[in-house]
Structure formats: structure tokens, C-alpha cells
């Protein structure tokens, strides 16, 4: 039976997460794995409906069984138009053993040890960004949240200063294309997303050519010099990996920061608590990621008939893991709607369900968020936020704008 539920509609995703929570709570209670009609809110018409997986344990089950729930047929709730799909064909949409080989090559750049070596620079940059924000105030995204992730991922990939504005806008365009505000000048969302992907490929092509001639110490150099069975990586794959890092590296950490500032502005007691006891910072960061759930979902496709929480899933069915729901599962989190920076344990699935595709940038993201909120706690006695403009998207919980006023300590 197909549930004619709001998850397939556009309207549902124009509302902020807090307003979607009641629907997910109902699904967890009465239909934890439910079949939905094809979504009306995708870049290309969906061929078939999808299963929504809403409980924490079931999301982990799907994530940790790649042989049963594969990534190779797409990872978004909706189908992508073929041209966009081709430009995004990175290891995110691969399965073992191919995924394992590529991920091993790339992951050298993201080990906690390597990120730790980068940490001093992250701290210096975060202090500069936060100090400027505290002194001048402004918009949480443009003047604070977008800056550190852009600097970090550009530095790690060797994107020069002169390219960064275009790099950032294109990365943002890929993620934000569903929101009508971004698809400007009469272009539909799919055209806008395609143009953004093409821009990133053009930048990648320039940088790859440069690194082939002058290899350095950055991730792209690692990729252009890597070999699989004596062969270099395919050029199209190199560029798609660049696109993946551009989007994954910018958007999610930016969203965690802007949502974190909003959460602390709305919960001044939690801000006072963090300022009084900075040892709470690591658990505060985990709570920000849980509560914000920057990535709403990822999808898998069933490779064979299977049963999950009483639902009969057929081979070929899209199966969508709603992290946004799993992170508020009342059987795992006490008072899930309470933003509690002391929450411990906090086994949130904000970085994924623990399977082979678990977020490669988790250490990098945590390190940036620690540096930013440490400095903000040192400098900001109070945080006041105006109305947040939320991104319309069924993929990320973004904030587009939110004015912030800080009282410096």
C-alpha cells in the first residue's frame, strides 16, 4: 500500500524541520517503513515510488548492508536527469569493490591525524572569521558560516583565491537548485543544477591540468597521481570527485554553523552553559549536528526482495534513509526535541548510518565546528537572531539568511 503522505509533496519541504517533526514522529510510530508515491519535488520525474525508513535502527540496517541496499543506482530521493547524473558520478554513487578502492585512495587526505595537522591553521582562520563577525555583526551565512568551510576545502584541494567565489556559488547552486530563489532568470531547477555542475567541471579541468604539470600536497594532486592497477584515474571521475568535495565540503559545515548559531540564540541557557564550561564543546557540537541534521536523507536501491520492519520491499525499489527522522527517534534519544548540549551518549546519524559511505569529512567538519564555536563562546556573551529564511529542499536543512546581533564580552 502506498501512503499518500506529504513526503512526496513540495509543500512539506517548504516548512522548517520543527514543523515536519510531527509527521515523522507519526511515521515512526505507525508506519516506520512506508511506501510513498513518486515525489513531485525532484529535478526529473520519478519513475516509481520510494520507501521511507524513519527509525534509527532501520536506517543503520540499510546503511550497513550495501549488498542488499546499493548506492550505484542513485543516492537522492529523486532521480537526477541523466546529464547531471553523469557529472556527479563520484564514489558516492558506487558500491564495493569499486567504492572501496577509490575511497581508500581519497581517505588518506581525511584521516583524523592529517586533519589534526591542519587544526592549527583551522583555529587561526576561525578566530579571524569570528572576531570580524563579532566586531561587525551581520548575516549568519554570508558573514560567518560560509567562510571557514570554503577556506578549508579550497586549501585542501588547492583551489586558488581567484577561483573561490565562482567555486562557492557553483557548489551552492548544486545543492540549492530546488529552491526557486536560486533558479533565477527563467531557468528551471534542473537547468540551474546542470549549469552549476558544468561550472564545477570546468574549474576541476583547469585544476587537474595544473596538478598534472605541478603536483603538490593537496587532495587533487593525490588523485591525479594515484593509480589503480597501474592506470591513472579516469578524468571524468576525477572531476566528479572534485564536485563531491565542493558540495559536501561547503554546504554541510556551513549549515551546521548557521543552524548552531540559531539554536544557541533560541536556547540562551545552553549558550550560558557552554560559556561557563568549555569542556562541553565536543558534546555541544554533536548535539548541533543531531538537531540540525544538515543532510536530510540519502537513498539506496534494494538489490533483492527483502523485509524491513514488516514492509515487503521488492528488488529495484528506492529505499530512503531519513536521518532527519532517525535523529529524533524517541526510543534512542530522551526528549529528542530538547536541544541539550550535555546529551551523552548521542549516537546521532548526522554523518550517516555507519556504513561504507559514512561521511569522509566528519573529522574535518568537527574540527572546524570546534574552532568556530570555541572562539564564538570566548567572544560572544549573548547571541540574538532575527527571522531565519530556510532553504526549500528535501536534501539539506539549509538556512539562506538570518540576521544576528552579538553582545561582545
Q: By the criterion CB under 6 A, which residues form the site for ligand HEM?
A: 63, 91-92, 103, 153, 244-245, 248-249, 252-253, 256, 289, 294-295, 298, 323, 350-353, 355, 357-361, 364-365
Q: Residue 191 Cβ, how far from ligand HEM at the closest point, in Å?
A: 26
Query: Closer to ligand HEM at the Cβ: 91 or 333?
Result: 91
Give the nearest distance from C-beta 103 to ligand HEM in angstroms: 5
Nearest approach in angstroms of CB 66 to ligand HEM is: 10
Shortest distance in whole angstroms from residue 149 CB to ligand HEM: 6
| Cβ pair 327, 291 in contact under 8 A | yes
Q: Which is nearer to ligand HEM, 60 or 199 (CB)?
A: 60
CB 27 within 8 A of CB 52: yes
Given the complex with ligand HEM, which of 318 and 353 has the nearer CB atom? 353
Closest Cα to residue 31, out of 310, 225, 277, 300?
Answer: 310
Torsion sign across C-alpha atoms 154, 159, 162, 166:
negative
Closer of 3 and 359 to ligand HEM (Cβ): 359
User: Per DSSP, what are the bridge partners of residue 247?
Assistant: none
How far apart CA 45 and CA 39 sit, in angstroms, is 8
For the bound state, the minimum distance from the C-beta of residue 407 to ligand HEM, rounded and expressed in Å, comes to: 27
Query: Which is nearer to ligand HEM, 178 or 247 (by Cβ)?
Result: 247
Tell me how far, at minimum, the Cβ of 135 lies from ligand HEM, in Å: 26
- The residue of the chain with the least Cβ separation from ligand HEM equals 361
Minimum gap (Å) between residue 297 Cβ and ligand HEM: 9
Nine-digit cell at 224? 591525479
Closest approach of ligand HEM to the CB of residue 335, in Å: 22
Q: Which is nearer to ligand HEM, 183 or 321 (CB)?
A: 321
CA dist 242 and 153 (Å) reads: 10
Distance CA 239, CA 88 (A): 9
Q: How far apart are CA 225 and CA 347, in angstroms?
A: 37
Among residues 63 and 178, whose Cβ is nearest to ligand HEM? 63
Please identify, using beta-carbon distances, which residue of 145 and 183 lies nearer to ligand HEM: 145
Minimum distance from residue 110 beta carbon to ligand HEM (Å): 7
Q: Beta partners for 395?
A: none
CB nearer to ligand HEM: pick between 3 and 237 = 237
Amino acid at each position: 500500500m502506498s501512503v499518500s503522505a506529504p513526503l512526496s509533496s513540495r509543500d512539506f519541504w517548504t516548512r522548517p524541520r520543527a514543523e515536519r517533526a510531527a509527521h515523522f514522529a507519526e511515521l515512526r510510530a505507525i508506519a516506520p517503513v512506508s511506501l510513498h508515491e513518486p515525489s513531485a519535488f525532484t529535478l526529473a520525474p520519478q519513475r516509481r515510488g520510494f520507501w521511507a525508513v524513519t527509525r534509527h535502527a532501520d536506517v543503520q540496517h540499510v546503511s550497513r548492508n550495501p549488498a542488499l541496499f546499493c548506492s550505484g543506482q542513485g543516492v537522492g530521493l529523486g532521480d537526477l536527469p541523466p546529464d547531471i547524473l553523469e557529472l556527479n558520478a563520484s564514489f558516492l554513487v558506487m558500491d564495493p569493490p569499486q567504492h572501496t578502492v577509490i575511497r581508500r585512495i581519497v581517505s588518506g587526505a581525511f584521516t583524523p591525524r592529517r586533519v589534526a595537522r591542519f587544526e592549527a591553521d583551522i583555529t587561526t582562520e576561525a578566530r579571524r572569521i569570528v572576531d570580524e563577525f563579532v566586531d561587525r555583526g551581520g548575516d549568519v551565512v554570508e558573514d560567518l558560516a560560509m567562510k571557514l568551510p570554503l577556506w578549508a576545502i579550497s586549501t585542501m584541494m588547492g583551489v586558488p583565491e581567484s577561483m573561490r567565489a565562482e567555486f562557492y556559488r557553483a557548489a551552492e547552486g548544486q545543492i540549492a537548485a530546488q529552491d526557486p530563489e536560486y533558479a533565477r532568470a527563467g531557468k528551471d531547477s534542473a537547468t540551474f543544477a546542470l549549469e552549476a555542475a558544468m561550472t564545477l567541471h570546468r574549474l576541476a579541468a583547469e585544476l587537474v591540468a595544473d596538478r598534472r604539470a605541478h603536483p603538490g600536497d593537496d587532495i587533487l594532486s593525490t588523485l591525479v597521481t594515484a593509480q589503480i592497477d597501474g592506470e591513472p584515474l579516469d578524468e571524468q571521475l576525477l572531476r566528479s570527485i572534485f564536485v563531491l568535495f565542493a558540495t559536501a565540503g561547503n554546504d554541510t559545515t556551513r549549515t551546521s554553523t548557521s543552524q548552531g548559531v540559531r539554536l544557541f540564540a533560541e536556547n540562551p541557557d545552553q549558550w550560558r552553559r557552554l560559556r561557563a564550561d568549555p569542556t562541553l564543546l565536543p558534546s555541544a557540537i554533536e548535539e548541533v549536528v543531531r538537531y540540525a541534521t544538515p543532510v536530510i536523507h540519502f537513498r539506496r536501491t534494494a538489490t533483492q526482495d527483502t523485509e524491513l520492519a514488516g514492509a515487503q520491499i521488492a528488488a529495484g525499489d528506492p529505499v530512503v534513509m531519513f536521518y532527519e527522522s532517525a535523529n529524533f527517534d524517541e526510543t534512542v534519544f530522551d526528549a529528542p526535541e530538547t536541544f541539550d548540549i550535555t546529551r551523552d551518549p548521542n549516537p546521532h546519524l548526522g554523518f550517516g548510518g555507519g556504513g561504507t559511505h559514512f561521511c569522509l569529512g566528519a573529522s574535518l567538519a568537527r574540527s572546524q565546528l570546534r574552532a568556530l564555536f570555541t572562539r564564538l563562546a570566548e567572544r560572544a556573551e549573548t547571541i540574538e537572531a532575527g527571522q531565519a529564511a530556510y532553504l526549500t529542499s528535501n536534501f539539506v536543512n539549509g538556512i539562506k539568511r538570518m540576521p544576528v546581533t552579538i553582545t561582545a564580552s
